[in-house]
């Protein structure tokens, strides 16, 4: 089984990006399972706490370390990474020499009510992934523009969006197997 950790870059109760993750969980191939971690539980990053990490940070780092791949669904705030997601990335990649993301396959997708559908944030995340030695899935791009018309009551109602999410999650599983993070076939 390929173990995927899902992370939403939004902690809003009715987040479109949480809906994308939930949709992905329903579209998983039979050789994969997904757990979603609520990064809203994490305290603000504070380097003073690295010597004795808070329990919730230890829990998050452990979930990242034991997963085979990550799936991040995120909005775009001010043409970049939402603070809550950057905070989670900082915690999991620290302290120095203890980068929990090292070598992990990762896929991104995002939903926005705007017309660009999170294209810029996903490119910013790729820069971060390169620094953290993560291995992103390149295709398909899932930039969900006008999300308020494609997601209703926490469900993706647009068939083309569902199709692209399914392709992305399938490619993430294949990528995880190809680069050898799991014995799943």
pLDDT tens sequence across 119-152: 999 999 999 999 999 999 999 999 999 999 999 9
Residue 161 has pLDDT above 90, yes or no: yes
Number of domains in the chain: 1
Write out the residue range of the structural domain in which residue 99 sits.
Answer: 2-178
3-state SS of 33-70?
Answer: EEEEECHHHCCCCCHHHHHHCCHHHHHHHHHHHHCCEE
* Structure confidence at residue 182 (pLDDT): 54
Half-sphere exposure of 78 (CA within 13 A, CB side): 3
Matching residue, tokens 């392709």? 167
Q: What is the pTM of this model?
A: 0.95
Tell me whether residue 92 is in a domain. Answer: yes
Matching residue, tokens 């990490």? 53
* Structure confidence at residue 184 (pLDDT): 47
The CATH number covering residue 54 comes to: 3.40.50.360
pLDDT tens sequence across 32-54: 999 999 999 999 999 999 999 99
Q: Can you tell me the distance from the alpha carbon of 124 to that of 106, in angstroms, rounded to the nearest whole number?
A: 14
């Amino acid at each position: 089984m390929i173990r995927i950790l899902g992370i939403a870059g939004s902690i809003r109760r009715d987040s479109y990006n949480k809906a994308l993750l939930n949709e992905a969980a329903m579209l998983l191939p039979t050789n994969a399972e997904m757990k979603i971690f609520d990064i809203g539980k994490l305290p603000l990053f504070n380097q003073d706490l690295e010597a004795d990490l808070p329990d919730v940070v230890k829990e998050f780092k452990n979930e990242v370390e034991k997963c085979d791949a990550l799936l991040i669904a995120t909005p775009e705030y001010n043409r970049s990474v939402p603070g809550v997601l950057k905070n989670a990335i900082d915690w999991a990649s620290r302290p120095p020499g203890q980068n929990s993301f090292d070598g992990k396959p990762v896929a991104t997708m995002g939903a926005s009510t705007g017309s660009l559908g999170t294209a810029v944030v996903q490119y910013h995340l790729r820069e971060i992934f390169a620094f953290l030695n993560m291995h992103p899935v390149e295709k398909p791009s899932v930039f969900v523009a006008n999300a308020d018309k494609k997601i209703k009551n926490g469900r993706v109602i647009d068939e083309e969006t569902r199709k692209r999410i399914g392709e992305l999650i399938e490619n993430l599983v294949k990528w995880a197997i190809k680069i050898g993070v799991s014995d799943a076939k």
